[in-house]
Amino acid sequence: MRYFQRLLLTVPAAFLLWFLTFAVPNGNFWFKLSFSALLLAVFALKPLLEQKEKLLSMRKRFVFVGILSAILLYAIFWVGREVSTALFPFASREIGNVYVTKAELNPAAIGLLLFFIMGPAEEIYWRGFVQETLSHRFGQMTSLLVTSAIYALIHVFAFNFMLFVAAAVCGLFWGLLYLRERSLIPVIISHALWDLMTFVLFPFN
């Protein structure tokens, strides 16, 4: 696959960007995260546009699938929070720490960034570029597992075990949704809406 070398260059860039976003305190967290997601999406634009008839195909049912899957994932996290806080003494504290950065920006601005920039940009890169590129080289299931693992690992720089687990679950969920629907549209809707619900509308803290 001719974009495999680009992938090998951009994945280390993703680790660097997430390190600068989570581990370096300078700058506004939400602006840094938005910039990082957008930058990665830029690297994926050329291969995305070459396959736009497949990756950006639109059907009426995709809106319903995106909304329903976002609600389902939110429900999974609600159950996960109840179980994890009952089993692990540190879970409540780490879940609360995920929301500390909300003080850096107005909730409405955070919601707009999540819904219109971060959610779509992350899916364009991770599912539309990384998972799609790896699937041509290693097959669909391997690409799903590898992409989900990398997506989880870049979150280690937050030094928050619950966030790491959350990223792993999200990566697998959206990766499976992408495999099932073979279009980024429902996955983008799902990611953007889930972000909005989880961080702004109905937070878990």
Percent of the chain with pLDDT over 70: 100
Integer CA distances (angstroms), 163 to 35, 77, 80, 95, 183, in order: 20, 11, 12, 7, 27
User: What pLDDT is attached to residue 173?
Assistant: 98
pTM of the model: 0.95
Strand ranges (E), 47-133: none
User: What pLDDT is attached to residue 58?
Assistant: 86
Q: What angle do CA 129, 135, 140 make, to 5 degrees?
A: 125
Average pLDDT of span 36-46: 94
User: How many CB atoms sit inside 10 A of residue 15's CB?
Assistant: 15
Which of 12-21, 57-66, 72-81, 143-152 shows the lowest mean pLDDT across its residues? 57-66
Most confident of 3-12, 57-66, 122-131: 122-131
Kindly tell me if the per-residue pLDDT of 7 is higher than 80. yes
pLDDT digits (tens, 9 = 90+) for 76-104: 999 999 999 999 999 999 999 999 999 99
User: How many CB atoms sit inside 10 A of residue 33's CB?
Assistant: 22
Break the chain into its structural domains and give their ranges.
4-201
User: What pLDDT is attached to residue 1?
Assistant: 57
